[in-house]
């Protein structure tokens, strides 16, 4: 949980809303776990795991959503609230039901139809009022709006029910217990009870009532041979590690230390306390927790990564090199870990490390080109080596990923001015320039 990257994510709520800026949490261990948890479900849905992404959003609410394409966005609050990995798998299965059902574009179409109904009722209502039938006109307006909203809500509930059914089918096909899906809906039902949400107004909701969803799914899920299968012990152990480090990173430190007191010497507890101490400015305590983890498993790459990260961000980049180099090697240059290693090499301010830093960071962006921090670090390397055109190209890549089209456009033009034509780097700068020009023109059009 090292970096927060700004992204634009679309929230699918009761009515159409503008895109809301949210933050993605990227962590090598977390992404590996989510990929392994979801792979059999993705395959059961007849999708290619290479094309489906699990994305962790820094949001404390218990939620997950899709926003077009084949990406499933999971809120940190959902991971925090889940009791086990199987519950998260149930949520993932449901969201994949939205993906395969094409529900995001269909929802947009339905919103347009509902808007059309509203506009028609507005025209008829105003006409009636102008003709002197004030009460009748007001009634037409109200009825039209109610019909439009009712139509949209019914459509949304239908999508949710279809996604539930598809998710249950995918779990059963993948031979994964559906108990977690039912247990998670029970959590949502308990939340409805705590919030005193009436259980008889299902027609005024975007989602079916949780009790209704449980009733609809119980038969199909409980009849499957895998329903009573135990939770995968390895996945569960990995989930508890990831959950603990996430809690240490996003929750208040006092709450984390209450949940994982110093008397708890488990791996998840050391993980949670390491992040809580590091985030709140206690480097010695954070380093001690990381050292305890490395002592327990000296070759675990994620423990080594944490140890190196704490040393690096505590102003000791030279000491961070050994654990980060080993973590990078043991994960075969996992891009996020390699980026941290590259950062440490640069932070030593030793010119002899620039060549290795360039090699490491070029491999990182080749394997994951969606990491703006990696592009920034690569730009620092090029700048220190006096390579102006490639410094500009790295800045263009970073700006493009950070939704800054004007800076991307300026940087891409600067790169093209110094790069040899028709080379791969020149062509890439040209692509960024064209995309950025289009985005800048769109922004200007919206301001008019």
Helix ranges restricted to H, 174-266: 179-194, 210-222, 233-250, 253-259
Tokens 């949502």 locate to: 188
What pLDDT shows up at residue 272?
Answer: 98
pLDDT tens per residue, range 252-273 = 999 999 999 999 999 999 999 9
Query: Taking the model in full, what pTM does it have?
Result: 0.81
Q: How confident is the model at residue 12 (pLDDT cuts 50, 70, 90)?
A: very low
Q: How confident is the model at residue 5 (pLDDT cuts 50, 70, 90)?
A: very low
Burial of 39 (0-12, 13-18, 19+ CB in 10 A): middle
Phi-psi sector, 175: left (phi>0), alpha (psi -120 to 50), beta? left
Task: Considering only residues 79 and 187, tell me which one the structure prediction assigns the higher pLDDT.
Answer: 79
Q: Which residues have CB under 8 Å from 384's CB, separation 6+? A: 346, 351, 354
Q: Which residues have CB under 8 Å from 410's CB, separation 6+? A: none
pLDDT tens per residue, range 160-188 = 888 999 999 999 999 999 999 999 988 88
What pLDDT shows up at residue 144?
Answer: 45
- For range 102-115, the mean pLDDT: 48
pLDDT tens per residue, range 305-347 = 999 999 999 999 999 999 999 999 999 999 999 999 999 999 9
**pLDDT beyond 80 at 228:** yes
Tokens 């080993």 locate to: 326
pLDDT tens per residue, range 417-442 = 999 999 999 999 999 999 999 999 98
**pLDDT beyond 80 at 290:** yes
- For range 52-69, the mean pLDDT: 90
What pLDDT shows up at residue 69?
Answer: 83
């Amino acid at each position: 949980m090292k970096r927060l990257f700004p992204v634009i994510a679309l929230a699918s709520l009761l009515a159409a809303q503008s895109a809301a800026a949210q933050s993605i949490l990227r962590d090598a261990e977390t992404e590996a776990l989510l990929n392994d948890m979801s792979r059999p479900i993705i395959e059961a849905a007849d999708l290619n795991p290479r094309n489906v992404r699990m994305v962790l959003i820094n949001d404390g609410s218990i939620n997950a959503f899709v926003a077009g394409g084949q990406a499933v966005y999971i809120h940190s609050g959902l991971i925090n609230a889940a009791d086990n990995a199987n519950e998260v798998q149930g949520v993932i299965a449901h969201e994949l039901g939205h993906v395969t059902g094409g529900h995001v574009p269909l929802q947009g179409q339905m919103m347009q139809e509902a808007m059309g109904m509203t506009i028609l009722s507005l025209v008829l209502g105003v006409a009636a009022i102008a003709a002197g039938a004030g009460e009748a006109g007001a009634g037409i307006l109200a009825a039209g709006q109610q019909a439009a909203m009712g139509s949209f809500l019914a459509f949304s509930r239908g999508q949710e029910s279809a996604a539930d059914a598809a998710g249950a089918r995918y779990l059963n096909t993948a031979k994964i217990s559906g108990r977690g899906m039912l247990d998670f809906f029970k959590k949502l039902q308990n939340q409805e009870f705590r919030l005193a949400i009436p259980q008889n107004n299902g027609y005024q909701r975007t989602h079916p009532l949780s009790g209704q969803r449980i009733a609809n799914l119980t038969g199909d899920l409980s009849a499957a041979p895998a329903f009573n299968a135990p939770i995968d012990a390895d996945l569960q152990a990995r989930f508890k590690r990831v959950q603990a480090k996430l809690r240490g990173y996003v929750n208040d430190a006092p709450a984390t230390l209450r949940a994982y007191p110093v008397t708890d010497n488990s791996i998840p507890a050391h993980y949670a306390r390491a992040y809580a101490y590091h985030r709140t400015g206690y480097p010695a305590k954070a380093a001690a927790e990381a050292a305890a983890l490395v002592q327990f498993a000296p070759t675990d790459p994620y423990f080594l990564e944490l140890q190196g990260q704490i040393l690096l961000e505590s102003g000791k980049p030279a000491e961070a090199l050994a654990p980060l180099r080993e973590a990078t090697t043991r994960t075969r240059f996992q891009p996020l870990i390699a980026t941290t290693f590259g950062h440490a090499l640069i932070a030593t301010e030793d010119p002899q490390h620039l060549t290795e830093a360039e090699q490491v960071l070029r491999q990182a962006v080749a394997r994951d080109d969606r990491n703006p921090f990696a592009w920034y670090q690569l730009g620092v390397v090029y700048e220190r080596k006096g390579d102006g055109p490639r410094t500009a190209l790295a800045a263009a890549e970073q700006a493009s990923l950070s939704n800054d089209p004007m800076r991307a456009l300026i940087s891409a033009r600067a790169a093209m001015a110094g790069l040899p034509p028709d080379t791969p780097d020149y062509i890439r700068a040209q692509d960024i320039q064209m995309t950025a020009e289009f985005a800048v023109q769109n922004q200007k059009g919206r301001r008019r």
